Every structure is written in structure tokens, then in C-alpha cells.
A and B are shown apart, each in its own frame.
Chain A
Amino acid sequence: MKPVEAEVKTGKTESGKKFFFTKISFPLFGYILKRVLIFIPTLFIISLLTFILIAAAPGDPAETMLSRSSAEGQASDKLATERSYRELRHKLGLDLPVFYFAFSNSAQSDTLIRIPTKNHREMLDRMVYTYGNWPQIETYYHQLKNLEFSIIATKKDSINTNALIELRNTAAKTLIHHEDVVLAGLYADLKAQAASASNLTEIQTKAAATEAAYNKVKAEATVWKRYVPAIQWSGTHNQYHRWLFGAAKWFGTETDPTLGRGFIRGDYGISFFTKRPVKSVIWDGLWITMLISILVIIIEYVISIPLGISLAVRKGSTYDSSVTVALFLTYSLPVFWIGTMAIFFLCSPDYVEIFPPFGLGDAVWEDGFFYKLGDLAYHLALPLIIASYASFAYLSRQMRGSMLTVLGADYIRTARAKGLPENKVIWKHAFRNSLLPIITIFASFFPALIGGSIILEFLFTIPGLGQITYAAVIQKDYPMILTNTMFAAILTLVGYLVSDILYAVVDPRISYSKK
């Protein structure tokens, strides 16, 4: 934060203004351009950070998206489920490596991620950790899947029904266990169960083959491989690249939706929860949150600047001290508490019913412009008051402080000494200088408002960015969370930029040409 420098301003205001518009405006554009260019790496790092955090999330989105109810069904059902599951994973790009490269050990394999079922992936990862020989483990896994499939595909008859049900359970258990002791027991069970019915010889041989494959894994273990670091290079064929840039051609009319056009081309992926494109949801929300934030900022500045000045001018009076205390208390009032109380007491038929408790109203623009506007204003009034009061209190306190600092400066004393009317001293000399710190605060306000939108929109059920994010967090809808976080970051960065520009407009001494 820049210290308040109350220096003697040289030159007349008019010439200063002229100077600003003629000479500074050009470097200012250069400065803005430079700032925008700096955003790109920052946003890039943010995208990396959020993407990698989300990639580390537990749970398999594809698994949650498909209700896997047919696990107990027929062989064809099971196969169909597995196929659709594999296709969904492919469509979402989940079968790709997460990033361009990965640090790992030489025992791990990049084909592990293609195994569709999450439990199986975990089991295989454990096996790789214990034995370190992926080729043998892969063979073993295929044998095991083969065995499971044979069990499911075998026709049930009066002799083998019980045996098949037991075999199926045991095989499912075998697929998720890696511990040697457990597996030994499971294979003994498998063999016994297969032998219990006379017509299951095929399964018996397959069970024996699977156990042999398992024994081969144990016999040919290469544990040392785990201690040799390796870098796995996957090129641009990875989840992050696909999310950010998309796999579709840049200048082509590719219509295959599975390829995706990437975040920077306006394709934000598919919501895990609604299964609709994220884009269709996010723009409406963004518009509402932007509208509320901008309105709140206008309200705050319009009220707090005059209030802060009036407090500073009447410093030490009862008015000043009582309002200052009130402002401090207001600032500490938690928004969600005041919001809850407001909804509780002002929107309820049990107490006073002045405001609508939720939503943005159901009027549409077709009902008439002013009708819609009125409806919107009616629904937004309480949220706007609730969103503005806390930072308005803070802003007024800052304005008072900064005005006091300026009023204590030498040039104000000079202005007073030469007999200028108090009004002129305050508005012409002190006002503009006292605005500087208030504008720096703007930079921290904007992210606070965007972050605060989560609480505000939750309270009043406004379908904005915050509400969408909240719902997405509850539903673990990662593409939605990722996109919302990116947009929140972009809005924040834009807020920083605006505050920089305002700073330059208010204080022409600031030169942006050399920096």
C-alpha cells in the first residue's frame, strides 16, 4: 500500500488536468497493456494450482455420474455398464495422464490410469508398490478380469447356482485386495467353490491360471524399481492441456464434442451433476454477481466518502465519536448473522414482511422494462443493503482517517492562512488527495465482494456465481468449481487493474511510463 504523501502540488489544477489527459494517457494505455500481459502468467499459475488440487480429489467422477446399479445383473449388462463407463471416462478425458509430465518411480506405469474401475486402480497401485513389476501385474489383472467374466457368463443351472453366486462375490473381493494373506485365502475359496459344482471345470482352470499369474507376480518382484526415480513424459495428450486448450483443431469446424475446445476458447467442459455444458450455467450467474458487486461498490462509495469527510471535519465532536463507534460495531457484524436476522424478521409473515426472502423475482423483460426493473429492485434491495453495510463502515473509517491526515498537512494550513473559505479548502485541496488510500482499498474490496457473493447468494438464494459455486462444492461438481474459481480469479484481477487505473486518474503524479 502506498503511503499517503501530502506534498505541495505544483502548478494549477487546470494545467494538471491538461497534463494528465495529454501526456499521461498514452503511457497509461501502455501500462494497462503491460498489466494485462502480466495477468496471463498469473492466471496460468492459478489454473495450474486449481487444476492440480482438483485432480487430487478422491472419488471417481465417472463412477458417480453413472449409477452402477447393474453390478448384480447379467453378463451382458455388466459388459454394457463397463463399456459405457469406459466411454464416459474417455469423453471426460479421465483416462489421460493429469499433466504434461509426472515425477514417479520406474515401477509405476502410465497405463494404470486407463483401468476404469477406481477400486481396481487402487488395488493395482498397491500391488505395484509392493512388487514393482507392472507387466506381470497387468497380466494378472487381465487373467482375473477374464475369470470374473467367465463366472458371470456361465449359465446358471440347478447344480451350480450357489457356487456361482459365491464365486462371484469372491472374485469381486479378489479384485480389490492386494494383501498376500487375504489373497491366499481368497484363492483357496475360489478353487473350493469352483470344485463344489461338477460343471465348472472351465472356471477351475481359469482360477488356477489366475493364481499362477499371481504367483508369478510374487516370484518376479522387482521391488528395487520403486527406488529409482523416473520422469514420465506424456506430451500434450493430458487432462490439463485438454481442459485448457482443448483437443479440437484451432482453425477447423470440428464438431466432435468429446474433443473439447478448452477453457481459453470458451469451452468449460460438462457439469458432472447436470451433465450440461458448464458454459450454459455460468454466464447468467456471472452477470448477476457482477451487477450486485458493482451496485454495492457504487452504494458504498457514494455513502462513505461524504460521511467520512463530515466525520473528519467535525473531529472530536460527539457526532464524530458516536458515529465512529457505531461504524466500528457495524464493521464487526457478521454478514451471515445480519442477513439471517433480516430474512428472519423482515421477510417473514410472523414478524414484519417488507422484503421478499429469496430469489430475483420471476418477472421477465417481456413483461415490460419498468415492471422487470421494479421487480428486480424490489428483490435486490435487501441483499444490497446487507452486502454493503460492512465494507461501507470500513470505508467510512478509512475515509475519515485519510481526510484527517490530509487536513493536518502543511499545504492545508497554507490554504487556510491565505484566507480561503473552509469549503474550498476541503473540496478543492484536501478532497482529491484524501481519495488516494480509498482507491487502494478498492483493490481488496473487489475480491472480498466476489468471495462474499457466496454468503450473500446463499442467504438470499440468488442464482449468481457464489450460489453456483456453493452448489457445485456440495455436489462435488469439479468442472463447475474449476470454472467458477477461474472466473472469480479473473474478476479479481480485473478489480486490481481498475483500481490501478483509478489511482492514475486521481493522482496525476503517478507515472506509469517507467516501471
Chain B
Amino acid sequence: MAEATSIKAKNEQGYWAFVNKQFRKKKTAVISLYIVIVLALIAVFAPFLANEKPLVCKFKGETFFPVLKDIAVGFGIGEFQPQFQNVDWKNLQYDMVVFPPVPYLPMNQDDNNIHSKGPFDEQNVPSARWKHWFGTDELGRDVLSGMIHGTKIAMTVGIVSMLIASVIGILLGSLAGFYGDENFQVSRVRLWGNILFLFFAFFYSFGTRSYDITDALGRGLGEGFVQLGISILIFAAVMVVGNLLVIPLKNISFLGKQVAVPFDLIIMRVIEVLNSIPTLFLILLIISIVRKPNLYVIMGIIGLTGWTGIARFIRAELLKVRNLEYIEAANSLGYSNAHILFKHAIPNALSPVLISIAFGIAGAILTESTLSFLGLGPADTVTWGQLLSYARQIPQAWWLAIFPGFAIFITVTTFNLIGDGLTDAMDPRLKQ
């Protein structure tokens, strides 16, 4: 057994080593990977790179780390020092102070530099330390700071929404590809019973508790999650009880007859319907019914509308995989279908999905910035698309037209190039 594991490990290492080697051959892809790492670092360290608060300061004989404190408070550890409440950080009498490279928050309005001052315009700043290197917008907000904090938003949206899309896409795509229309057999009573129980479970867990959940969510996220948890438990309990009730009924020959669940048919129909509505129309439709789209809502919407590509990808891959010998071998060894699907089939079909995830992240970032550009993005943060949209209102502010758009372009391109590199690296058939 130990030997088998080590062989398996070696083989897997072999595959990934091969992919790695192929990937490294493509210079553009490698450079893109480095750029993405830099972008990710900018995103993570955004509060240290652009902040109104000092990184370190000595104030009245005491040393403080205001930015770190900010983050700690954000995580719920500690509280703000009373002497720093509602202060103008810029004009305090420090004994010693180190400000971040960009000493502004994206929301800070520099009253001395309103009406969009450009990088080459004369700016009303005390010294070069306080210069707005990428200019300001109409309200005097620093563009560079907005771009640094926008990196965080773009990366978060790209990764989280693709995570949502991947989970849905992999699950539904593998169900469709592995089971097809015939391979998932259950007894009639179980099939119809489960549809019925699903209704009951939903009714008792969410239908009858709707106001309990919304009220709890309104009081706070913690209480909301407790109520949601209770609902999920009820849901599971109803399903379990229902499936236990089915067992004796299976002995009746009519009810016990095995029927196939046409997963492939159903899932492909769903994909077809979703693909028939242009994505931007679908997203706009959903946004129109949301009261205030915040970042989470936007990520959710992009994720929920973006899974079809991944699902089709993994379905096609599993259609190939399921006829291979090792699946047959696993079958003849008596493993359950679910075991084969999750332990053997999906892991082997997964690597090509990485490609569509890379392209998907690029697409998600593009969608988010498009929405922000249209003024329909998250209202509570500064994003690249939002900055770019200001350029439409101020015909002289070329810096607003160029810099944020360039950031979007670089990010989207690098993810596309990585996707391209992965395609070449993982699919030797496409090598030319």
C-alpha cells in the first residue's frame, strides 16, 4: 500500500513537473505570473502602501503603529486609541513619523487640489512627499491611492467570483459528464420522494422561518449565521428522515423499479438557457432588482452567471475520462460511483479546468470594471472602472482616462496570458 502511494505521488509529481516545465518555456506566461504576484502583493499590502495614517509615529513620547492598529481593529482585536479619534493625521505634531509611500486614502478629499489636478499641473502641496503622482479627481481624491486600493477589489472579485463559479461548474459539470443520462439509477420511489422531500425540506427550513432569518441577519452577521445554520440542520434532517421512509416502500415492485436520472439533459438545458441571455443583460437584470449592489453582491452575481463555461469544460473532460480503463478498474473493484467520481474522475479532469479558471478570472475582473464603469458596481468602494468613468465627466483629465484603464488592461492581459500558457503546457496536443 505504501509503495502504491509513493508511486502515485511520484506520478502526480511527474505530471505537474511536466506542466511546470512546459509552462516555464513560455516567457510571456512566466512574466505574467510574476506580474500577478506583484499585483497580489499590492492588493494585500494596499493599506500599507496608500493610507492617510502613518506607518510608524512617535507622538507625545509614545510610539504608535496606526496602520497596523487599523487592521487589528478591522479584525476585532483592540480598539482605537482615544487620542487619535477624529484627528487630522497629516497635521499632527509628531516627534517622528513615517508615512506610507502614498499618504492618502482613496476617499480622502484634498481640499487644496480639487477640480482634478494632473500629474504635471501645479499642485498645492507642502512638498514632493505629498504630491499626487497620478493626479486627483474632481473632488480632490488621489488617483494613485484609488488605483492601489482598486487592485484589492479587482483581485478579490476575480478570485472569489471564480471560486463560486468553479464550485458550481465543477459540481454540475461532473454530474452531467460522469453520470450522463443513464448512469445514475435510483428507484422510482426514491426519485419522486426526494423531489417531494426537497420541497418539504425547503418549506420547513426556509419557507416557514423566512422572517426569523432576515431579522437575525438584520441584527448582525453572527446571529444571522446561527439562524441559517438552524435552517440548514432542519433541511438535512427532513431529507434524512424522508430517505429513511423510502426504504420499506422499495419492496413494492412498481415503486422499486430502477429509473435513470437524466443529469446530462437537465444540466445542459440549464446551461443552454443561461447562455441564451447575453451575460451583461442577465447581470444587469439581477442588479436592477438588488437594492444596493455592494462588493459581495457583485461577486455573487458574477460567480452565479459565470459557471457555464467551466461546467461544459469538465463535462467534456469527464465524458472522455469515464470510458478509460482505470475507471472501469475502479468499477470492477466495487467502489461506489460517488467514490469513483470524487476520488478518481474529478481529480483527473481538474487540471484543464485551471485553464478556464485563469481566463475566467480575467473575465470576472473585466465584468466588474465594466459594471463599475457603467456606474452599477459596488457603491461602497473605489474601483478601477469607477475611476475611469470619471474621465467621461472631465474632458481635461487625461490621467483619469489613462491610468485606471491601463491597470485593468494589464491585469486582464496577464491572466489571459497565464491561461494561454497553461493551455500550451497542459495540452500537449495543441503544441505546434
Contacts and interface: CB of A to CB of B under 8 A. Distances in A.
Interface of A: 42-43, 45-46, 49-50, 53-54, 56-58, 103-105, 126, 129, 226-227, 229, 325, 328-329, 331-334, 336-338, 340-341, 343-345, 348, 350, 404, 408, 447-448, 450-452, 454-455, 458, 469-470, 472-474, 476, 478, 481, 484-485, 488-489, 492-493, 496
Contact of A56 (B289, B369, B385, B420): B289
Contact of A341 (B199, B210, B402): B402
A455 B370 contact: yes
Contacts of B331: none
Contacts of B284: 454, 469-470, 473, 481
A264 B277 CA distance: 18
Nearest to B202: A103
B39 interface: no
B391 interface: yes
A227 B207 CA distance: 9
Given A332-B416, A451-B280, 6 more contacts: A334-B409, A340-B392, A344-B401, A473-B376, A481-B285, A493-B276
A-B pairs with the 8 shortest C-beta distances? A337-B405, A451-B278, A57-B289, A451-B280, A332-B413, A473-B288, A447-B278, A488-B281
> In this complex, which of B284, B375, B392, B402 has the most chain A Cβ atoms within 10 angstroms of its Cβ?
B284
Interface string B279-301: 11110111111010000000000
B381 interface: no
A492 B277 contact: yes
A345 B366 CA distance: 23
A54 B282 CA distance: 11
Given A229-B200, A492-B276, A341 B405 contact: yes
Contacts, number: 149
Nearest to B416: A332
Contacts of B355: none
A473 B287 contact: yes
Contacts of B405: 334, 336-338, 340-341
B208 A226 contact: yes
14 contacts: A42-B273, A45-B273, A58-B291, A103-B207, A105-B207, A126-B211, A229-B203, A328-B413, A336-B385, A337-B405, A341-B401, A344-B391, A451-B280, A489-B278
A334 B281 contact: no
A325 B391 CA distance: 29
B182 interface: no
> In this complex, which of A42, A229, A484 has the most chain B Cβ atoms within 10 angstroms of its Cβ?
A229
Nearest to B204: A227
Nearest to B407: A337
Interface in B235-285: 269, 272-273, 275-282, 284-285
A350 B396 contact: yes
Contacts of B406: 337
Given A336-B385, A473-B288, A484 B281 contact: yes
Contacts of B385: 336
B419 to A, nearest CB: 11
A344 to B, nearest CB: 5
B277 A350 contact: no
A42 B211 CA distance: 34
Given A54-B289, A473-B288, A492-B277, A336 B373 contact: yes
Nearest to A348: B395
Given A105-B207, A340-B388, A344-B391, A50 B275 contact: no
Given A42-B273, A451-B279, A469-B281, A53 B374 contact: no
Nearest to B200: A229
A54 B285 contact: yes
B432 interface: yes
A485 B277 contact: yes
B281 to A, nearest CB: 5
B277 A332 contact: no
A69 B408 CA distance: 46
Contacts of A57: 288-289
A332 B405 CA distance: 12
A492 B278 contact: yes
A131 to B, nearest CB: 13
Contacts of B211: 126, 129
A325 B29 CA distance: 12
Given A334-B366, A492-B278, A103 B203 contact: yes
Nearest to A476: B288
Contact of A447 (B275, B362, B388): B275
> In this complex, which of A57, A334, A404, A455 has the most chain B Cβ atoms within 10 angstroms of its Cβ?
A334
A332 B208 contact: no
A336 B369 CA distance: 9
B289 A53 contact: yes
A404 B430 CA distance: 11
A472 B289 CA distance: 12
Interface string B199-227: 11001100110110000000000000000
Interface string B348-380: 000000000000001000100110011110000
Nearest to B286: A53
B417 interface: yes
A333 B376 contact: no
Contact of A454 (B28, B277, B281, B291): B281
A129 B362 CA distance: 45
A493 B402 CA distance: 37
Given A340-B405, A348-B395, A454-B374, A58 B416 contact: no
B373 A103 contact: no
A325 B396 CA distance: 32
A472 B281 CA distance: 11
B273 A450 contact: no
Nearest to A48: B273
B416 A478 contact: no
A128 to B, nearest CB: 10
Contacts of A336: 369-370, 373, 385, 388, 405
Nearest to B414: A332
A489 B276 contact: yes
A308 B383 CA distance: 36
A485 B281 CA distance: 6
A451 B281 contact: yes
Nearest to A444: B275
B277 A488 contact: yes
> In this complex, which of A50, A340, A481, A492 has the most chain B Cβ atoms within 10 angstroms of its Cβ?
A340
B311 to A, nearest CB: 14
B104 to A, nearest CB: 24
A345 B388 CA distance: 14
A344 B275 contact: no
A42 B272 contact: yes
> In this complex, which of B210, B288, B416 has the most chain A Cβ atoms within 10 angstroms of its Cβ?
B288
Contacts of B130: none
Contacts of B273: 42, 45-46, 49
B289 A334 contact: no
